[in-house]
Every structure is written in structure tokens, then in C-alpha cells.
Amino acid sequence: MNKYRQLGNTNIEVYAIGLGAMPLSLDGRPDEAQALGVIKAFVDGGGNFIDSANVYCIDDSDVGHNEKLIAKALSKQEDTENIIVATKGGLRRPKSDWTVDASPEWLRQSCKKSLMDLDTDSIFLYQLHAPDPDVPLADSIGELARLKAEGKIQHIGLSNVTVEQIKLALSITDIMSVQNRCNLFERTSFNNGVVKFCEVNNITFIAHSPVGGHSQHAQRAKNSLLKNLAEKYDASTYQIMIAWLLHRSSSILTIPGASKTSSIMDSLRAINVELSKEDMQLLEANIK
Ligand SMILES: NC(=O)c1ccc[n+]([C@@H]2O[C@H](COP(=O)([O-])OP(=O)(O)OC[C@H]3O[C@@H](n4cnc5c(N)ncnc54)[C@H](OP(=O)(O)O)[C@@H]3O)[C@@H](O)[C@H]2O)c1
């Protein structure tokens, strides 16, 4: 299995297992020392792609928590030249709720704040968190294209989208990545053609919630087939779920979340799990 994944049509490759930084900033988050330790362990363990969002925080008064944490952690690392931080705009957190606002005004305002919180002049990958039913997608993408032309962001990504929405975005600008929920138990993006479309068009498919998601991972990890295979491969059930995604397509980049150092260290080791064709088929057929 290739341990690296190409980003869009660039010649930049990142380690195939990134860090989903969301659990470091939501309600119930770890203290700062633990959170910084998770990011350090990830980078020291060879990881170099970190996924963030301005709204990984408790509520609207806390927007930027995750980005500031990442900036702080990376400021303590010696060599960060090859570390890629991707963030997102297009949501809000009123009273801890999650609401969509992909209006051009809010995207521009959010991007400006993300630049400050990440302590950078230019964001490498800026993702539209989700299309806004109240704003034409072309208007949201158009604003991202303007931010790119101004140099505030270098590449544009999409999240939570269909093939039709990706096509519309591509008619306006280049798209480097698509980030949708995707794991062994949630295969919509395989079934509706999004992963295939990304493969054909040199778009990196970033699988979010790769081990079942923030609230479901613990239950998913108890699956009996996963347990059997974990024993067979001397791996954890989480590693089997990550390895399955990485074997499905060389366009897939995984971003398992972690609030504990032990979790991200375990996830990084999934790169060594070489699932046989038979076991890939067994997983496909028996887990729905
Ligand atoms: N674009 C979007 O709309 C969207 C939506 C959701 C998520 N995301 C992104 O995708 C990332 C991943 O999704 P997620 O965090 O919701 O779900 P996830 O990665 O499926 O599950 C995360 C949880 O699984 C546990 N875990 C992960 N690997 C483990 C391992 N090897 N061993 C033991 N436990 C392990 C962690 O527990 P501990 O906390 O105990 O370490 C973590 O909190 C997020 O962090 C975020 O960056 C994007």
C-alpha cells in the first residue's frame, strides 16, 4: 500500500493518515497540554496533514480554538516546512449548535480570522465546510476563487458535497480536495460516485469520520468481524477500518480524530496493515 497520497494535481504528497483535529476542541475536549501532546505525537510519528475548521470550538464565542491550538503546537516543533494545515469556513456555532452560512461575506470574514488564528499569510487548503441551501453554490465558490486570486488561500477544497456540486465548482475554479463522511459503515460516497469522480479528476478524497465518527466510533470498534481481523493482523479494530479505506483507493486520505496521544499513535500504525483481497471482500460483504 502506498504510504503517501498526492494532493490534487500538485506533486505534493502527504502521509496517508492525517490528523482530524476536531476532538481537541469540542465540548469535553482535553486540557491544552494533552491537546498539544496529541499534535506533537502526530508530527513526531511522521504525520504531516492536519484537518481543522474555524468552528471546531465550543460555540460562537470560541471560534478559532482549534486553529490557535494547531498554530501553538506547530510553533514548538523544529521542522514544520512540510506540515500542511487545512481548514474550513462556511459554518457557525450559535449556542453550540452547527448552522450553515456560506455567504461570500461570512466566508471572507472567516478566512481573515483563520489567517490570524493559524498565524499565517496564506492558508494552504481552504475548504467550503458545506454548501448553503440559502446561497447559490456558485456565489460561495466564487468568493473562494477571489480569496485564492488574492493569495489568502492557495488551494480550494469542498466538503459534504455530491458529484453535481463538485462539477459546478469545477466550472468556476480548480478543486484540490473533497471531504465527505466515509467509513466502512457509511459508504455513500462510494455508492453515489463521488470517490470515483475524485479518482478520475485528480481530486484528493478526504474521508472524514473514518473510524465511525465522533459519537459512534466506540460502538463501531466492537464489531465482531473487525475484532477477528484485528487479531489476525495483530492490529486494532481502528487500524482495520483505516486500512480498509486506504486499500479502497489511492485517492483516499484518511483523517482519524483523536483527543488522546494513544489514539493517534495507534491510527498512524494502520499504514502497516496490508489487508488481503479476501479480507477486503469479507469486510465489504459483511459490514453494511
Ligand atoms: N467536514 C465535515 O463536515 C466533518 C465532519 C466531521 C468530522 N470531520 C473531520 O474528520 C475528522 C475525523 O472525524 P471524527 O473525529 O468526527 O471521527 P472519527 O475519526 O471517526 O473518530 C474519532 C474518535 O475515534 C477515536 N479514535 C480514533 N482512532 C483511534 C484509535 N486508533 N484507537 C482508539 N480510538 C481511536 C478517538 O478517540 P479519543 O478522542 O479517545 O482519542 C476520536 O475521538 C475530524 O476530527 C474532523 O477533522 C469533518
Q: How distant, in Å, are the alpha carbons of 75, 92, 100 from that of 63?
A: 20, 8, 14
What pLDDT was estimated at residue 270?
Answer: 98
Instruction: Please give the number of the atom of ligand 1 that sits closest to the Cα of 52.
Output: 47
Ligand 1 geometric centre to CA of 257 (Å): 3
Tell me what percent of the residues of the chain surpass a pLDDT of 90: 99
CA dihedral 91, 14, 243, 283 (to 10 degrees): 60
State the Cα–Cα distance between residues 88 and 156, nearest whole angstrom.
Answer: 10
pLDDT at 61: 97
What's the rounded Cα separation, in Å, for the pair 129 and 152? Answer: 17
**Ligand 1 geometric centre to CA of 89 (Å):** 19
Q: What's the whole-number mean pLDDT along residues 126-145?
A: 98
What's the pLDDT tens digit per position in 35-88? 999 999 999 999 999 999 999 999 999 999 999 999 999 999 998 999 999 999
From ligand 1's centre to the CA of 99, what distance in Å?
20
CA of 217 to the centre of ligand 1 (A): 8
Please name each of the domains of the chain with its CATH number. 4-219+239-274 (3.20.20.100)
Could you read off the pLDDT of 158-217 as tens digits, one per residue?
999 999 999 999 999 999 999 999 999 999 999 999 999 999 999 999 999 999 999 999
Residue 89: is its pLDDT beyond 90?
A: yes
pLDDT at position 269 is: 98
Ligand 1 atom closest to 22 (CA) = 45
Spacing, Cα 186 to ligand 1 middle (Å): 14
Parallel, antiparallel or unpaired: strands 123-128 and 99-100: unpaired
Ligand 1: which of 57, 180, 211 to mutate, judged by most atoms within 8 Å of the beta carbon? 211
Q: Which pLDDT score, from 0 to 100, does residue 178 have?
A: 98
According to the model, what pLDDT value does residue 59 have? 98
Instruction: Return the pLDDT at 1.
Output: 85
Structure confidence by residue, pLDDT tens digits, 254-275: 999 999 999 999 999 999 999 9
Ligand 1 pocket, residues with Cβ under 6 angstroms:
20-23, 51, 129, 159-160, 179, 208-214, 217, 236, 238, 255-260, 263, 266-267
Cell 489511492, residue? 250
* Residue 282 pLDDT: 96
> Which of the listed residues 17, 19, 22, 87 should we mutate to test ligand 1's pocket, taking the one with most ligand atoms within 8 A of CB?
22
- Taking only Cα atoms into account, the Rg of the chain, rounded to an integer number of angstroms, comes to 18
User: What is the mean pLDDT of the segment spanning 139-159?
Assistant: 98
